[in-house]
Amino acid sequence: MKPNQDILAELSWRGLVHQMTDPQGLSQLLREHSVTLYAGFDPTADSLHVGHLVALMTLRRFQQAGHRPVVLVGGATGMIGDPSGKSQERNLLSREQLEHNIQAIGEQLARFVDFHCGSTSAVLVNNYQWMKDFSYLDFLRDVGKFFPVNVMLAKESVKARLESDAGISYTEFSYMLLQAYDFVYLYDRFGCLLQIGGSDQWGNITAGIDLARRMRGVQLYGLTCPLLTKADGTKMGKTEQGALWLSPRRTSPYRFYQYWINVEDADAGKCLRFFSQLSQQEIEELDRSRAQEPQKRASQKQLAEELTRLVHGEEGLQRARRATEIFFGRQIDQVSQQELEEIFADIPHAQLPWSRLEQGLPLVEALVEAGLCKSKSESRRLISQGGAYVNNRRVAETETVLTLQHLVTPESLVLRAGRKKYAVLQFQK
């Protein structure tokens, strides 16, 4: 079967190609055949994050172009720890933790690749399945024999660690062999010819290609995507709360949506190319819009909408939008407790006895109880400077006392400090 579009051309205008082996050979292969390719994700946490999105979306594009993606979740490699791009030796994860992580990540993947679409259906594999019964002696004889240590030492990931004080353990040093063998195994099992990954995976990917040539005498291919960085060179996807996760449990759809809405103009074009389904023409249209009428932020809106829908579904997108309306709207009127809970799910909640509100709770104290101010003096300062809001309505009098009338649901009210810091105060009878 033939693929339905020239995927390499597509990836390259999107800026998704960092490096590849044998560009002519690979290009021809991908134009003429539907290829099975794979990308691996180590289950270091129970969710993928934005950093994984580049490879994930690339895998998705390959599938849309008529190729078959294999997604490898590294139950075995996750036990070892990839030294690539890491300055420190990793802590080993427990088996139970890994098991849990693999399960959770497996569920997330279905959002990105289709597991039920005939001949190009995605396949989910776990390298623990084929590594667990591979004995140490067999592995050394059958795989280790093909790895010249001097070549391994020359790999960037190893070299960096050798030169640092942290050093590298034999365990992490061996990581490369496992990933290399994965590629050979997937070739045997699925006829997998291409491995893709982030640019930090180049060393591991080429190790697999070398191993396949030595063990099977075949030519496999590798392609890496650039890392997702901002215009200033720093990594994208970092927030004050840590990484931007794909799991709604770790990063709410609202926060996820907000992250993309707030992407800087300088990074928006790149993000659109990386992540959106828009055509080149449509993206160039948005580039123009960004230059001529930046205040519209059409690019950011498009990006936030598409990605939130993809990662959290239509419902998640609606929730994020509704929360945005409330957060940036004027005033919070009657909302149901449930709705409020949902919208403010990931902002701090403080619980106080009902009697406090009944007898009148000074706003100064409420702000401290809610964790928005460290002391009453700070509260007074905030209020007198016009930075305090009750249910999104500015309150500038330091003597304000909260009463039952301020409730916005039968038991809660919403405090805000400054532009974006919120807290819910909940009163219990």
Partner RNA sequence: GGGGGGUUUCCCGAGCGGUCAAAGGGGCCAGACUGUAAAUCUGGUGGCUUAUGCCUUCGCAGGUUCGAAUCCUGCACCCCCCA
Residues annotated as part of the active site: 44, 49, 52, 86, 90, 179, 200, 235, 238-239
Cβ proximity to RNA, 205 vs 425, nearer residue = 425
Cβ proximity to RNA, 180 vs 382, nearer residue = 382
- 236-245: long-range contacts, CB 8 A cutoff, minimum separation 24: 236/50, 236/267, 236/271, 237/49, 237/50, 237/51, 237/53, 243/49, 243/50, 243/51, 244/49, 244/50, 245/45, 245/47, 245/48, 245/49, 245/50
Phi, psi of 75 (to 5 degrees): -65, -35
30 part of the interface to RNA, by CB under 7 A: no
Considering only residues 258, 302, 391, 409, which one is a binding residue for RNA as defined by CB under 7 A?
258
Q: Which of 340, 346, 342 is nearest to 421 (CA)?
A: 346
Phi, psi of 69 (to 5 degrees): -90, 140
297 part of the interface to RNA, by CB under 7 A: yes
243 part of the interface to RNA, by CB under 7 A: no
Q: Which amino acid is at 113?
A: V
**Among the residue ranges 40-48, 109-117, 227-235, 378-386, the one whose residues contact RNA (CB under 7 A):** 378-386
Q: Which two tokens stand for residue 316?
A: 């998640």
261 part of the interface to RNA, by CB under 7 A: yes
354 part of the interface to RNA, by CB under 7 A: no
287 part of the interface to RNA, by CB under 7 A: no
Dihedral sign computed on CA atoms, order 267, 272, 245, 340: positive
CA–CA distance, 65 with 77 (Å, rounded to integer): 29
421 part of the interface to RNA, by CB under 7 A: yes
Cβ proximity to RNA, 216 vs 394, nearer residue = 394
216 part of the interface to RNA, by CB under 7 A: no
Q: Give the nearest distance from C-beta 47 to RNA in angstroms.
A: 23
CA–CA distance, 282 with 303 (Å, rounded to integer): 12
Q: Which two tokens stand for residue 308?
A: 């939130």
Cβ proximity to RNA, 148 vs 418, nearer residue = 418
Q: How far apart are the first and last CA of the chain?
A: 67
381 part of the interface to RNA, by CB under 7 A: yes
- Give the DSSP letter string of 343-361: HTTTS-EEEEEHHHHHT-E
Alpha helices for 14-155 (secondary structure H): 23-32, 50-64, 77-80, 95-109, 128-131, 136-142, 149-154
Q: Give the nearest distance from C-beta 374 to RNA in angstroms.
A: 6
324 part of the interface to RNA, by CB under 7 A: yes
- Distance of alpha carbon 242 from the chain centroid: 11
Considering only residues 375, 393, 403, 410, which one is a binding residue for RNA as defined by CB under 7 A?
375
Site string for RNA, 223-242 (x = CB under 7 A): --------------------
Q: Give the nearest distance from C-beta 302 to RNA in angstroms.
A: 13
Considering only residues 145, 162, 277, 328, which one is a binding residue for RNA as defined by CB under 7 A?
328
Number of residues forming the site for RNA (CB under 7 A): 28
Considering only residues 101, 201, 247, 300, which one is a binding residue for RNA as defined by CB under 7 A?
300
Alpha helices for 293-336 (secondary structure H): 298-328
Phi, psi of 230 (to 5 degrees): -85, 170
Q: Give the nearest distance from C-beta 342 to RNA in angstroms.
A: 17
**Among the residue ranges 77-85, 223-231, 277-285, 415-423, the one whose residues contact RNA (CB under 7 A):** 415-423
Cβ proximity to RNA, 57 vs 382, nearer residue = 382
Q: Which two tokens stand for residue 404?
A: 């039952």
User: How are beta strands 421-428 and 401-402 bridged, if at all?
Assistant: unpaired
Considering only residues 121, 241, 385, 403, which one is a binding residue for RNA as defined by CB under 7 A?
385
386 part of the interface to RNA, by CB under 7 A: yes
Q: Are 192 and 36 in contact (CB under 8 A)?
A: yes
**Among the residue ranges 132-140, 194-202, 337-345, 373-381, the one whose residues contact RNA (CB under 7 A):** 373-381
Q: Which amino acid is at 15?
A: G
Q: Give the nearest distance from C-beta 290 to RNA in angstroms.
A: 8
Residue with tokens 């992540």: 275
Q: Which of residues 90-109 bind RNA (CB under 7 A)?
A: none
Cβ proximity to RNA, 1 vs 291, nearer residue = 291
282 part of the interface to RNA, by CB under 7 A: no
Cβ proximity to RNA, 36 vs 300, nearer residue = 300
CA–CA distance, 285 with 315 (Å, rounded to integer): 28
For RNA, the binding residues (CB under 7 A) are 258, 261-262, 264-265, 294-295, 297, 300, 324, 328, 368, 374-378, 380-382, 385-387, 417-421
